[in-house]
Structure 1
Amino acid sequence: MPDPTPRPVSPRQRNWPAMLAIAAIVATLALAFAWTVGWLTPHRLTPQRFTDAIQDANGQVYRGFRRAHAKGVCVAGYFEGNGQGVALSSARMFAAARTPFVGRLSIGGGSPYGLDGKARVRSMALQLTADDGQQWRMAMNSFPFFGVATAQAFYEQTRANAPDPTTGKPDPARQAAFAKAHPEFARFAAWAKTAPWSTSWANTTFNGVNTFRFINAAGEGRYVRWSMQPQTTFEAMSAEQRAAADADFLSEDLTARLAQHPLRWDMVVTLAEPGDPITDPSTPWPASRTHVTVGTLVIERSAPQANGACRDINFDPLVLPRGVQGSDDPILAARSAVYSVSFNRRERDIAGGRAEAATGHAAPKGDTP
């Protein structure tokens, strides 16, 4: 006859359910990670693969530097709302008060040693911090619209611009094939070829080409795009002037101007109308749309990026305050994801450089931009 007395349960047996649950969680996280980085779907476009393509297009990895827009300077100052934005958004930055910011002015390209006169694209990135601690990060460029409409097309454009190992230059046939496959790129190519170059960051218009949604205190929403329009008079720069210019003429010009007075840009918000493309940053909205000037950005000082306050900021355009939301623009989501991967790689570069220095080995050049 079996013994009716139950046998004691060992600690290991009592812990089995918890151990199985932990194992299941770990397995789920591992699968999620594998999916995110593309190990389970090798042909799926991931932020990691996109960042790899950017590095390939640069021709080499500049350790410790941003993978895109590697050359730039830190700037700081304030944004002063004029009250006109309050009806559009509940973001505190639009009140008639000053909001401090840390920012960065840069040029396009992945080399921190690029020549200013060769860089077609110039950029402005900002981190505004309201009095309640909320942040608004912006990433704007000198082009008035994006080159392509989707993240996949942007990836293909990046790969088409990668240098051929045998020539050190992009393959013209590959670039032509990309342009044929994406006819919308012709509009951007025409801008790059014909639009005048400015002589300074100070007289450059910086555009947030992606669409966002402003929400006011009443809960009413409007789709918008915005730009920073300079109060400094525009001056065009000829090809001959660019060829003769110093490699760092933009930062030198900025330093000289700031020694005389602060530099100002008006923030101009464009309001979408029904039918305007919300998810396609390659298509500009009609010039007839309503424009509202909501405040003024004032740059008071600059500093080298190696030790400036902008050095360790990821200017993720989806870090937004209450009253501002992202849209379903796929390029906006792609920029946010790739910026994160690039930032993490840069931080690992810097940490690796510090470790090398601590062990007596030389830190990599440019390990703290």
Structure 2
Amino acid sequence: MPCRLAAIGAVVATLTALAGAFAYAGGWIAPDRLTAQTIINQFQRNAGLHEGFRRNHAKGVCIDGYFESDGAAASLSSASVFAAGRTPVIGRLAIPGGNPTAPDGNSAVRSMALMFTQPDGQQWRSGMNSTPMFGVHTPEQFYQQLVAAQPDPATGKPDPAKQKAFLAANPESQALQAWMRGHPPASSYANTAYYSVNAFYLVDANGRRQAVRWSMQPELPYAPVTAAEKGQPAWLADDLVHRLEAGPLRWHLRLTLAAPGDPTDDATQSWPDDRKQVDAGTLVIEHASAQDNGACRDVNFDPTILPAGIAPSGDPLLAARSAAYALSYQRRTREVALGAH
């Protein structure tokens, strides 16, 4: 029984880390008045208050480079980022959680956040996770998950019984659990694939809309994380810097096109593997820098900041993410202004 409960705890901890990446906060979240403050305060109860840092994905590293479009997606979207040529990019690689000093091995999930700035000044901001689907799809589920993962003061760890109850009440989480069991985390930020999880629409010059999800697929071959790496507190950033010393790192932006009937408003449901894909170009990362003073420090990677030619779907988690990021941004920047971090 203890081993079984430990396994349940590990699953819910992973799902909670994922949910933290897409928390619904800001304004009124549900008819029963679940507020932004309630959600963000719960983040702080779970991880502790670390002033000046993001309330989730607190530990990360800034990156910069460019996106080289090959023009293959230009017929799908009027956004100039898809026209043949280069677009400058600022980004961030991170792990979930609100503790900026947490060991890298504490999480099986990584994230990539990017800001593309077009020549006309319009921006495309995207936040991706290293899983192609999500564990919950409603604000209520997310909040319940956070509460279930709150550490017990007596043990410093979540209550396994509460976590087991959450999983039993939310079978939608099973698809993500199954995927993660078959996909151990990669050994590096650089050989990890990152997924939009939510659906969006590409809009062409004539107003035609195509539902898509996207991913960044690394050119470096996948290799699973080793036990030795897990034992190092900050190997992900160190490894990234070391690899960049040898030259730029590259990912391919792969657009997956939805077919009629594919769900666009539920991130827990994946699309069939046979859906058409378009390789829209190459993300080239040239430099990494500490988040304390890097270019990504003051960027709110709100995924609903989109240029003309890209539009949000009806997935409720998109508006949720936007509001959550905004509130986290407000709190941490105020703390910095007052002398924190």
Q: C-alpha separation between the residues in 2 aligned to 1:188 and 1:145?
A: 6
- 1:185-226 deviations in whole A, cap 9, x for unaligned? 122223334422211000000000001011001111011000
Contact kept? 1:47, 1:334, Cα under 8 Å: no
1:152 deviation in Å? 1.6
Map residues 290-309 of structure 1 onto 2, 5 A cutoff. Answer: 290-309=276-295
Query: Given the alignment of the two structures, is residue 177 of structure 1 paired with residue 169 of structure 2, yes or no?
Result: no
In 2, Cα distance between the equivalents of 1:291 and 1:153?
31
What is the aligned counterpart of 1:51 among 26, 29, 40?
Answer: 40
| Residue of structure 2 in register with 1:75 after alignment | 63
DSSP 3-state at the match of 1:87: coil
TM-score (norm 1): 0.83
SS at structure 1 position matched to 2:171: coil
> What corresponds to 1:314 in structure 2?
300
Query: Quick one: distance in 2 between partners of 1:167 and 1:190?
Result: 29
Q: Does 1:289 align with 2:275?
A: yes
Q: How high is the TM-score relative to the length of structure 2?
A: 0.89
Residue of structure 1 equivalent to 2:314: 328
How far did residue 159 of structure 1 move? Answer: 1.6
CA contact 1:228–1:266 (8 Å) conserved in 2: yes
- Please give the alpha-carbon distance, in whole angstroms, between the structure 1 residues aligned to 2:216 and 2:27: 35
Which runs of structure 1 show a deviation greater than 6 angstroms over 4 or more consecutive aligned residues? none
Alignment root-mean-square deviation, CA: 1.5
Cα deviation for residue 65 of structure 1 reads 0.3
Is 1:276 aligned to 2:259, yes or no? Answer: no
Residue equivalent to 1:206: 194
Secondary structure of the 1:210 match is: coil
Aligned to 1:105: 93
CA contact under 8 A between 2:87 and 2:117: conserved in structure 1? Answer: yes
Query: Could you tell me whether the CA contact under 8 Å between 1:88 and 1:214 is conserved in 2?
Result: yes
The one-letter amino acid paired with 1:306 is D
Q: 5+ unaligned residues in a row in structure 1: which ranges?
A: 1-35, 354-363
Q: Between the two structures, name the one with larger relative contact order (CA 8 Å, sep ≥ 6).
A: 2
Counterpart amino acid of 1:56? Answer: R
- After superposition, what is the alpha-carbon deviation per residue over 1:230-275, rounded to whole angstroms, capped at 9, x for unaligned? 001111124x23443x211111111111001100000000011111
Q: 2:338 aligns with which of 345, 352, 361?
A: 352
Contact 1:226 1:267 in 2 (8 A): yes
User: Which protein shows a greater Rg?
Assistant: 1
Alpha-carbon distance in structure 1 between the residues aligned to 2:143 and 2:181? 22
